[in-house]
Amino acid sequence: MFTADVDKAREFYEGILGLRLSDRSGSLIAFLHTPHGSDHHLIALAKSGGGGLHHTSWCVPSIDEVGQGAQQMVRAGYREGWGLGRHVLGSNYFYYVRDPWGSYAEYSFDIDYIAAGQEWPAGDHPAEDSLYAWGPDVPEEFVFNAEITVPA
């Protein structure tokens, strides 16, 4: 999710909803998990000029299904996207498909899991680690908040 203030949004998700920080990159992006056992992040908060949805993520059971999903969407005419690649934070394989509204749907496989009660030392990582370990170059339009409208 995009937000104008990552730190303030974190206060809400941590203080009111009880989520916990998994990893972050300064005040640019924060990844949060639940204390009862969850993926590395149920939600990530990314700095932008305002609120918005960047992507939803859909877990699939294998890297083959990440590739097959990508292939299916390309064949259906959805050629804009990013991947195949692997994230650093969460360490999942990914392929993002741009949807008709300008945000993305992510095929995801093998994200880190943080078990209930597990000590997870949240790190503050360099900005480049918030994107990927390997994969194609990040498309220019990838980090774009389609929900911020320009006043007429």
Interface with Fe ion by CB under 5 A: which residues? Answer: 57, 106
β-pairing, 123-124 vs 20-25, is: parallel
Q: Is the dihedral of CA 82, 86, 87, 90 positive or negative?
A: positive
Helices and strands (H, E) in the chain, number of each type: 2, 11
Q: How far is the CB of 92 from Fe ion (least distance, A)?
A: 7
CB 88 within 8 A of CB 129: yes
Q: Which is nearer to Fe ion, 10 or 85 (CB)?
A: 85
Q: Which is nearer to Fe ion, 106 or 110 (CB)?
A: 106
Residue nearest to Fe ion (CB): 57
Q: How far is the CB of 38 from Fe ion (least distance, A)?
A: 14
Cα–Cα distance measured from residue 7 to residue 68, given in angstroms and rounded to the nearest whole number: 37
Q: How far is the CB of 56 from Fe ion (least distance, A)?
A: 8
DSSP 92-131: -EEEEEE-TTS-EEEEEE---EE-TT-----EE--GGGGT
Q: Which is nearer to Fe ion, 20 or 151 (CB)?
A: 20
Q: How far is the CB of 57 from Fe ion (least distance, A)?
A: 4
Q: How far is the CB of 150 from Fe ion (least distance, A)?
A: 26
Q: Which is nearer to Fe ion, 57 or 145 (CB)?
A: 57
Decide: helix, strand or coil at residue 152. coil
Q: Which is nearer to Fe ion, 80 or 149 (CB)?
A: 80
